[in-house]
Amino acid sequence: MTVIALDGMGGDLGPEATVAGAVAAASGGLQVLLVGDEPVLRAAAERQGASPSTLRIAHASDAIGMGEQVAREVRRRRDSSIWVGMELVKSGEAQAFVSMGNTGAMLAGALLCLGRIAGVERPGLAVLLPTPGGPTLLLDGGANAEARPNHLRQFAEMGSAYMHAMYGYERPKVGLLSIGEEASKGSSLIVEAHALLQATEQINFLGNIEGADVTSGQYQVVVTDGFTGNNALKLIEGTVQMVFDAVRREAAGSLRARLGGALLLPALREARGRMDYRRYGAAPLLGVNGKVFIGHGRSDAEAIANAIRTADEADRHGVLDQVRAAIGAEREAAGGGPPDPTSSSGAVAAAE
């Protein structure tokens, strides 16, 4: 039976939101194991009227704050909810770990406790974006501010495996985010990555794409470095919010606008729902040797419940095995390849 461990202390909204999300997911038949300060989590559950029998809790006396710069100290804080959650996955007591907490600590904890899949140089944060043609996976969404060309190739391989496992795409279409469609456009990183992607037969690489193509629905996987990817995601999120705020203001400007707004309201709500980050709940950290999902810090109960559901689906669809197979195929094609030059400590430094 699939058990999803949830960091009960993570996120801006704290235990109230995480407990509510856990209860909502459990009411749908999922097995959730809350991780955190047991008295605090029990008190939050009582305030929400949740039955104690519906919640399992793994006690963790320490909690890493959202603003703490502790990536290098995670291993020493073994009583933190993040480390305990990783240990539950490593031991097999839980099949996945979900947290809305400190991203740097999650990245470092996953690398130090679970390690990387053999052959993976850097894990990537894979963020699902709703688009008219179905979900698009963008990675790296912020795990690595700097990247090398082979990192981007591996992001494409892991992202393709994820989209195949979760959504059934036989050969997901892959685009490389750049400043122009021509192979010669972009930084040296992008130019070199383009050549690698084009030479890798197992990747269905369609070439460079521009920012406007990310949400077009024409691609199932978009690869970039974490600095660019994180800024692209925040720009998309901010633009969506700006558009809906502008429509709301204009709709209240006159009687005629209010009448028109009332007619459009159901369609606008449906459109916003399709673009809501809460729909998928959390992003998988692809490349670590375990199923780890990192959510938005301001996630509410709905987003947290959806994150738990996403983690459960990933386990049932064998995502980790498919990612391992994709990286294994790359190593086999390269004749085993040279020793991995990127140490875990280097990847942890990137998480700071």
Q: What are the phi and psi torsion angles at 175 (to 5°)?
A: -120, 145
194 with 317, same domain: the answer is: no
Q: What are the phi and psi torsion angles at 293 (to 5°)?
A: -125, 130
pLDDT at 273: 58
263 with 314, same domain: the answer is: no
34 close to 58: Cβ distance less than 8 angstroms: yes
Of 250, 275, 300, at which residue does a domain stop?
275
Of 232, 259, 275, at which residue does a domain stop?
275
- Smallest CA-to-CA distance from 230 within 70, 133, 312, 350 is with 350
User: The pTM is what?
Assistant: 0.86
Of 226, 243, 275, at which residue does a domain stop?
275
120 with 177, same domain: the answer is: no
Burial classification of residue 239, based on how many CB atoms lie within 10 Å of its CB (0-12 exposed, 13-18 middle, 19 or more buried) = exposed
135 with 111, same domain: the answer is: no
243 with 310, same domain: the answer is: no
179 with 300, same domain: the answer is: no
39 with 104, same domain: the answer is: yes
Which residues, 6+ apart, have CB-to-CB distance to 170 below 8 Å? Answer: 164
**What is the tally of structural domains in the chain?**
2
Q: Say how far apart CA 264 and CA 336 lie, in whole Å.
A: 58
pLDDT in tens, the chain (352 residues): 799 999 999 988 889 999 999 999 998 889 999 999 999 999 998 888 777 677 899 999 999 988 777 777 888 899 999 999 999 999 999 999 999 989 989 999 999 999 999 999 999 999 999 887 788 999 999 998 899 999 999 999 999 999 999 999 999 999 999 999 999 999 999 999 999 999 999 999 999 999 999 989 899 999 999 999 999 988 887 877 787 777 777 777 777 767 776 666 666 566 555 555 567 788 999 999 999 999 988 889 999 999 999 999 999 999 999 999 999 877 666 665 544 444 444 455 445 4
pLDDT at 304: 95
- Type of residue numbered 249: R
Helix or strand or coil: residue 221?
strand
Q: Say how far apart CA 200 and CA 160 lie, in whole Å.
A: 13
292 with 270, same domain: the answer is: no
pLDDT at 319: 95
Q: Where are the beta strands (DSSP E) in the chain?
A: 3-7, 31-36, 56-59, 96-99, 124-125, 127-129, 136-139, 173-177, 204-209, 221-223, 282-286, 292-295
167 with 243, same domain: the answer is: yes
Q: Say how far apart CA 123 and CA 174 lie, in whole Å.
A: 18
pLDDT at 274: 57
267 with 143, same domain: the answer is: yes
CATH number of the CATH domain containing 135: 3.40.718.10
180 with 246, same domain: the answer is: yes
Give the residue numbers spanning the domain of 315. Answer: 1-127+278-352
Q: Say how far apart CA 169 and CA 122 lie, in whole Å.
A: 24
148 with 269, same domain: the answer is: yes
